Structure 1
């Protein structure tokens, strides 16, 4: 199994280690590491590193050889791993992600993949997850930011600083376009088409082609973004509104939309639009703090996180009667599994017991 280095800056220079002795498989994995892995979003890289290392630890503790050219051996190895995962406190989605990472590695290494090709193993995984109640959602899961909760936030916050303008625009955009954190930090000013209310999303976990796809953006959010950009492009603390020079590196002419601010939050940090360095991007922790800051400012007690916008957008659409294809298009999902879950959740409010309770004013 692979062991990725913890320091991401050295990923490309270090050789991927596997326990398989066939040089052909090592070459395939190293080619993927050098040519593709380092181009993936950093959060995706970290997730793969964590998942691969956890499986490596499991194999070492159990004295297992790990993956080989033998299909039945790989099947037995994954089955044993599933047994361990299902008896752990890990959530359903975490287990599915870890198995997906292993399936990805088998494909990269060109090794027999029972996760895809074994009917026995697929059914074993599904039934094991059901038996161990892994489909139950964690009580600590992020609360969906529904459109009602978003309206509550927008009504409570009257932004009076560049920081609040940026934060509010970011949260609203994540709701409208059902964006993940790693997608919103890459949004550029040129990606917004005001005439068609469309946002071009270029980087996504489900966008294997790299061509990007379009998501909807509301007029309200476009207005928030325009206010944020206008505020950023004017000098702070001046009696007469004075626009920044067109060459001022703290001005937004194009490029990355949501940028880092000074400590006081009154101006953007200098940024070169011609150099899209990773240091210019907000990271997940920055986006997380934005959501927490917005919740505190609006006196929202619910546990909203960067994923709340994507989940809440989907739930709100489902409650409004959106079809599965409409949900998939809105959130860029390739599979109907997750949109189907949100539809099922929304249908609870329209079910027989809900109608009965309404009639009897319960």
Structure 2
């Protein structure tokens, strides 16, 4: 039995050369990579490559042939992989994401997919995760950035540089619109509707159709955005507004860009459409997840916040704050762009703890 899966590079899956069937499978994967994969968000691409290669390395180390046309073999390989994952410190969601990536690959290569088709494997995965306590929440998960905590940060930090103004605006926008980091970095200046207090989120993890969704943003956050843009377009050296063709000026396109080392000017960026696909200037100017993560840590440190807040804290905190103030499940789903009520329901349950019977009893007796 020959395998068609082996560790690849950082940019594309590699297919093991073999018989004509494997060549055909390789063509399926190459076509997907060429026509679809390269258009996915960069963070999604990296996640897929990482997950694919992790499985390939596992097969290599265990001397197991990887995916093939044999349904039983694919079932066995994934079962062994799940057993290994359950021994690791990986969280439940990480394991589920890795299996989802493998299922995606099987579909792309048009191979037998036991993750979907095998009742035995589905039950084995579910029971293995339960048995190994993978459903438990991580003790190190991000602390929700609730509206009270956000107000504390806004009151403590008075931005005096473009960098600080950008960072604070990012945090407020991510809270209002319940944005993920990968959604934030694609926000463009023209996506903000000041008339409707709305932000157009062009694509998101939960938006499989690619239609986008609209999220509410507060007037105070819109004012922050306007102040950030005005500061970006002011040249401190000449004490005047930057010229319209200045590459450091912000007219349209990506809203949150990298800032120079001194924190007073945006890095040059080409705002012309269809010119940035492979432009080094574009790549060096835009933010990625690690940039957004550092922004959150920098703001927290300056505000003296000891809790572990991360880019996901805004989305979680926004949902918890809404739930604590009586938002319904449909309202939560609309606010965060969730297709399913499962996650908003979790935040509602978390918020209801403070309104439960024991909470009322403690308040009554001043405990």
Q: TM-score, normalised by structure 1?
A: 0.92
Change (3 A) 1:232 1:30: same
Tell me how far apart the structure 1 counterparts of residues 37 and 52 of structure 2 sit (CA, whole Å). Answer: 13
CA deviation string 1:200-257 (max 9, x = no partner)? 111322222223221111111101000111111112156xx62222222221111111
> Any conservation in 2 of the 1:259–1:269 contact (CA below 8 Å)?
yes
Distance apart, 1:273 and its partner CA? 0.6
Distance apart, 1:315 and its partner CA? 1.8
Distance apart, 1:34 and its partner CA? 1.5
| Partner-residue secondary structure (3-state), 1:214 | strand
Match of 2:343 in 1: 338
Tell me how far apart the structure 2 counterparts of residues 335 and 62 of structure 1 sit (CA, whole Å). Answer: 38
What are the equivalent positions in structure 2 for 1:220-231 lying under 5 Å apart?
A: 220-231=220-231
Match of 2:40 in 1: 40
> Any conservation in 2 of the 1:16–1:30 contact (CA below 8 Å)?
no
Q: TM-score, normalised by structure 2?
A: 0.91
CA deviation string 1:241-278 (max 9, x = no partner)? 62222222221111111111111111112222113333
Match of 2:148 in 1: 148
Match of 1:5 in 2: 9
What are the equivalent positions in structure 2 for 1:1-362 lying under 5 Å apart?
A: 1-6=5-10, 8=11, 11=12, 16-18=14-16, 21=19, 22=21, 23-236=23-236, 242-274=240-272, 275-276=275-276, 277-362=282-367
CA deviation string 1:148-181 (max 9, x = no partner)? 1111111111111111111111111111111111
CA deviation string 1:124-146 (max 9, x = no partner)? 22222111111112222221111
CA deviation string 1:283-326 (max 9, x = no partner)? 22211111111111111111111111112112222222323332
| Partner-residue secondary structure (3-state), 2:241 | coil
| Partner-residue secondary structure (3-state), 1:199 | strand
Range with greater deviation from structure 2 (63-72 or 159-168)? 63-72
| Partner-residue secondary structure (3-state), 1:200 | strand
> Any conservation in 2 of the 1:3–1:49 contact (CA below 8 Å)?
no
Tell me how far apart the structure 2 counterparts of residues 49 and 126 of structure 1 sit (CA, whole Å). Answer: 24
> Any conservation in 2 of the 1:201–1:215 contact (CA below 8 Å)?
yes
Distance apart, 1:189 and its partner CA? 0.5
Tell me how far apart the structure 2 counterparts of residues 159 and 59 of structure 1 sit (CA, whole Å). Answer: 52
Distance apart, 1:3 and its partner CA? 2.9
Tell me how far apart the structure 2 counterparts of residues 19 and 131 of structure 1 sit (CA, whole Å). Answer: 39
Matched pairs, number: 354
> Any conservation in 2 of the 1:16–1:29 contact (CA below 8 Å)?
no
Change (3 A) 1:116 1:329: farther
> What is the RMSD computed on CA atoms of the aligned residues?
1.9
Distance apart, 1:76 and its partner CA? 2.5
| Partner-residue secondary structure (3-state), 2:215 | strand
Unaligned runs of 5+ in 2: 277-281
